[in-house]
Structure 1
Amino acid sequence: MALSGKHVRHLRSLAHHLKPSIIIGKTDVNGGVVEQANAALEAHELIKCSVLDTSSLDAREAADILAERCHAEVIQVIGRKFSLYRESKRDDIEHIALP
């Protein structure tokens, strides 16, 4: 799903207040991180991730790799943090209403 500029701005404003739920460390983006990110995206649709100094990846590289493996969209990358969005298939959660 291609997001419009209006959608991205809305998601950025929602992601601003989130605390990082996924931490990427010295093992970089491995299977465990992808599994955690998939579970978090299914539960919340919008997540914030953080990249530690011990990682060999910078935030943009980690965001691109994780987004590709999770079939998600990179919303924003600032410093060592980034936000991902993927529409959830679950019916028991409150979905984010995109304008």
Structure 2
Amino acid sequence: MSLTAAKKKQFRAIGHNLKPVVIVADKGLTEGVITETLRALDDHELIKVKFAVGDREVKQQLIVELCQKTEAEVVQTIGKIALIYKSAAEPNPMLSNLTRPS
């Protein structure tokens, strides 16, 4: 499922005020990081992930690998932060960053 340009624009606007909820360090994608990312995506659908990795190529590989393992899509990357999206099967309106009241 590929996001349209309009959806990406909408998600970037929502994501602007979000804080990173998952941090990927030099150890890479551990089972705990993947589990926590899946939990956060299930709860919030749209999340920011911080990559505390110095090398750009390694960071880009980690972003792609994380999205493949979680079946999520990258909305935007700026510096060390990636905004990713995965639709929840049954979104909770009070937790989802897409439906929660502002």
List aligned pairs for 1:49-88, cutoff 5 A: 49-53=49-53, 57-58=58-59, 60-88=60-88
Q: Conserved in 2, the CA contact under 8 Å of 1:41 and 1:85?
A: yes
Partner secondary structure for residue 57 of structure 1: helix
Give the CA deviation at 1:90: 2.2
Give the CA deviation at 1:54: 6.1
* Identical pairs, percent: 26
- Aligned pair 1:39/2:23, yes or no? no
Q: Which runs of 4+ in 1 moved over 3 A?
A: 53-56
Q: State how far apart, in whole Å, the 2-side matches of 1:43 and 1:71 are.
A: 15
Q: State how far apart, in whole Å, the 2-side matches of 1:35 and 1:57 are.
A: 21
Give the CA deviation at 1:16: 1.1
Partner secondary structure for residue 21 of structure 1: strand
TM-score, normalisation: structure 1: 0.86
TM-score, normalisation: structure 2: 0.84
Give the CA deviation at 1:61: 2.0
Gaps (5+ residues) in structure 1?
none
**How many correspondences in the alignment?**
95
